[in-house]
Amino acid sequence: MKILKIDHLGIAVNSIEEGKNFWTDALGLEFEGSETVEEQKVTTAFFPVGESEVELLESTAPDGPIAKFLEKKGQGIHHVAFRVDNIEAALAELKEKGIRLIDEKPRKGAGGAKIAFLHPKATNGILVELCER
Ligand code: ZN
């Protein structure tokens, strides 16, 4: 498995419209636009930061994973995403190492990326996403 870089930090917010001002006005980042991923019941907004990005996540449904996260923990860091060169090979390798996975197979993420989450129990409490684009 080859980790290429931190692809993005996923941050759960109640509202992208309200949450984005800090990133644009205070930090001077560029708002790259938003995209809804129906499958995940989430709208994402990306703000490039050098080689990586900040990803704001807003729920589109009360039973979606981001809605549940906000209910339990409130707004804040939701996941860290690492870009890999081959996500299928990375998942197979982690599985062989006994790492608990949420997604055994990649699913479709924003921007046409292939993504998969590792279980927080296997990572000392952090939700880790692998992505390939
Ligand atoms: Zn993400």
Distances (CA, A) of 11 to 7, 78, 87: 13, 5, 22
Whole-number mean pLDDT of the chain?
A: 96
Q: Can you give the pLDDT at residue 97?
A: 97
Confidence of residue 109 (pLDDT cuts 50, 70, 90): confident
- Cα 46 to ligand 1 centroid, rounded to whole Å: 10
- Cα 57 to ligand 1 centroid, rounded to whole Å: 8
DSSP 6-43: EEEEEEE-S-HHHHHHIIIIIT------EEEEGGGTEE
pLDDT in tens, 54-79: 999 999 999 999 999 999 999 999 99
Enumerate residues with CB within 5 Å of ligand 1 (an ion): 10, 81, 129
- Cα 26 to ligand 1 centroid, rounded to whole Å: 23
The pTM for the full model equals: 0.93
- Cα 112 to ligand 1 centroid, rounded to whole Å: 12
Confidence of residue 131 (pLDDT cuts 50, 70, 90): very high
- Cα 114 to ligand 1 centroid, rounded to whole Å: 10
- Sorted by where each starts, the structural domains of the chain and their CATH numbers stand as 3-132 (3.10.180.10)
Q: Is the pLDDT of residue 112 over 90?
A: no
